[in-house]
Amino acid sequence: MSYFIYRDKKVYYEESGAGVPLIILHGNTSCGKMFDPIVPKFAANYRVIVPDFLGNGRSDRLDKWPTDLWFDWANQVKALCDHLELNKVKLIGSSGGALAAINVALEYPELVEFIIADSFMGLSADAVITEQIRNGRAQAKIFDGFTDYLKTIHGDDWEQVFDADTDAVLRHAEQVGNFFHKPIDDLKVPMLLTGSCEDDMFPRGHCVKLFDEICSKTGMAEVHVFEHGGHPAMLSNMDEFFDLCIEFFGG
């Protein structure tokens, strides 16, 4: 198993395929295993690298997760690139992983060739969505199917992981608010925004409104909204998403 060190902790990652490096970033309450259905498709074209962010999956645990969580995740990606001596990468991030990917592109534009940001909350914490997360997380712990999934990807301490993630998300909304340290109009990297009209993680029409706002602030963004599919869009519309990525990346 492969690890790199970030702030004295071991961060797990997996590699498959060969060629131009493509890093795929998981979202909250998940880990790199969520991408098992789509990684083989990308691995036929790229060197695919999938980390488990600290506290998740097979990475070391933290007593308390950082309040500025997705900025910290971006710095973990930078540490991964340094460890593997990668000079230029393509990035795909889903949900919270999309926030991390955008942070990487804003903070380290020299490192990123393209970015695809899928199914994410916004430019800053939204009160309605945050409250939906608070209530939804409490309800989720009573559904056996979901808790079985968490146990499969995180292990027997799944509840500690789940609670630590929830705590960090809520602390960020209360104490930080903005997901990025730099304005989105500073973006220097081509970015594809993807989402689904039927994503029940967000209010109806969320992704269209968000993507319109982003495109009004930067000329670096392109948009594709799927008519159908749940959260995240990249997995609920996997084949079409893959084709979009190949086209956006230029092959």
Across 168-180, average pLDDT: 98
- Number of structural domains the chain divides into: 1
For 32-43, the pLDDT digits (tens) are: 999 999 999 999
Rounded CA separation 78/64 (Å):
21
pLDDT of 1 higher than 90: no
Nearest Cα residue to 231 out of 191, 203, 212 = 203
For residues 42 and 242, the answer to whether their CB atoms sit within 8 Å is: yes
| pLDDT of amino acid 28 | 97
Average pLDDT of the residues of the chain: 97
pLDDT of 144 higher than 90: no
Domain ranges, residue 71: 2-249
| pLDDT of amino acid 131 | 92
Q: What is the CATH number of the domain that holds 120?
A: 3.40.50.1820
**The pTM is what?**
0.97
**What residues contact residue 75 under an 8 Å CB cut-off, 6+ apart?**
6, 107
Across 25-31, average pLDDT: 98
Rounded CA separation 173/187 (Å):
23
| pLDDT of amino acid 104 | 99
Rounded CA separation 202/126 (Å):
10
